[in-house]
């Protein structure tokens, strides 16, 4: 079987690292802000919180003629009252979740169309559909990602490129590690399964979406939340 070529953005995060593990044996181009990935790849550093350019992405991908998948995992939590959110924090959220994603897709789409199984997978959040108090801006950006996924799936359907999102609930990792024991217990008390989502669960679904058997799954926001429909 021919080697696949994937572009994994946000490779050093909890979910990105788990997805990267699923791609072992494939040709992977990875992107992160400051941290090196844990697995073998052609790695590039890029700060997605600033306004990137199409040229930035071309420099990363020009060495690859065909891409079989773009997996987008970056995200930065933003807690606080809506009226207290600074414009700088707003711009950072927009750049990471929406603007940079759109630019990456624009640049690599011709390469995805050359694949027999081109895939775009965006890791969003449960809050992109339900909304979250004290996380209004974050939720709005994740909601924008969901709408982009649904719209692009329709637009690109005839090309063979599929576009889907995975919307996890509370994922165990750096965010939950920062919680106090009391706060973590309160979070677990709200979850139907009384457990956190493991990054590997999200990565396993992403790996399936990259397979040829998933070609009829298109425009979906796939929830991994243990029944936590808030």
Asked if residue 69 belongs to a domain, the reply is yes
Asked if residue 47 belongs to a domain, the reply is yes
Query: Residue 15 belongs to a domain with what CATH number?
Result: 3.40.50.720
Give the pLDDT of the chain (230 residues) as one tens digit per residue. Answer: 678 999 999 998 999 999 999 999 899 999 999 888 888 899 999 999 999 999 999 999 999 999 999 999 998 777 778 788 899 989 999 999 999 999 999 999 999 999 989 999 999 988 777 777 767 889 999 999 999 999 999 999 999 999 999 999 888 887 777 777 888 888 888 878 888 889 999 999 999 999 999 999 999 999 998 888 75
Asked if residue 73 belongs to a domain, the reply is yes
Residue-level pLDDT at 230: 59
Q: How many CA atoms lie within 13 A of 6 on its CB side?
A: 32
Asked if residue 229 belongs to a domain, the reply is no
Distance of CA 127 to the CA centre of its chain: 14
Sequence-ordered list of residues with C-beta below 8 angstroms from that of 222, at least 6 positions apart, any chain: 164, 165, 166, 167, 205, 209
Sequence-ordered list of residues with C-beta below 8 angstroms from that of 124, at least 6 positions apart, any chain: 142, 145, 146, 149, 165, 166, 167, 221
The pair of three-digit structure tokens given for residue 199, joined into one six-digit string: 């990054």
* Phi, psi dihedrals of residue 158, rounded to the nearest 5°: -70, -15
Strands 42-45 and 69-72: unpaired
Could you give the number of structural domains in the chain? 1
Asked if residue 230 belongs to a domain, the reply is no
* Active-site annotation holds for 94: no
Residue-level pLDDT at 154: 97
Of 6, 94, 138, 208, catalytic:
138
Domain assignment of residue 65, given as a range = 5-224
Residue-level pLDDT at 1: 63
Residue-level pLDDT at 99: 98
């Amino acid at each position: 079987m021919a080697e696949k070529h994937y572009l994994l953005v946000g490779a050093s995060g909890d979910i990105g690292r788990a997805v990267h593990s699923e791609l072992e044996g494939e040709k992977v181009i990875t992107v992160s802000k400051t941290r090196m990935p844990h697995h073998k790849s052609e790695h590039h550093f890029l700060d997605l919180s600033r306004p990137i350019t199409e040229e930035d992405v071309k420099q990363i991908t020009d060495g690859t003629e065909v891409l079989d998948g773009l997996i987008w995992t970056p995200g930065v939590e933003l807690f606080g009252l809506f009226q207290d959110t600074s414009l700088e924090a707003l711009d950072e959220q927009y750049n990471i979740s929406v603007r940079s994603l759109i630019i990456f897709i624009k640049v690599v789409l011709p390469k995805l169309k050359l694949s027999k199984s081109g895939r775009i997978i965006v890791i969003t959040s449960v809050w992109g559909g339900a909304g979250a108090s004290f996380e209004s801006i974050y939720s709005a950006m994740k909601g924008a990602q969901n709408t982009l996924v649904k719209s692009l799936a329709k637009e690109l359907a005839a090309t063979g490129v599929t576009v889907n999102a995975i919307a996890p609930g509370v994922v165990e990792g750096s965010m939950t590690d920062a919680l106090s024991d009391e706060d973590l217990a309160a979070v677990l008390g709200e979850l139907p399964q009384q457990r956190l989502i493991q990054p590997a669960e999200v990565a396993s679904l992403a790996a399936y979406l990259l397979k040829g058997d998933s070609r009829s799954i298109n425009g979906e926001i796939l929830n991994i939340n243990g029944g936590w429909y808030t």
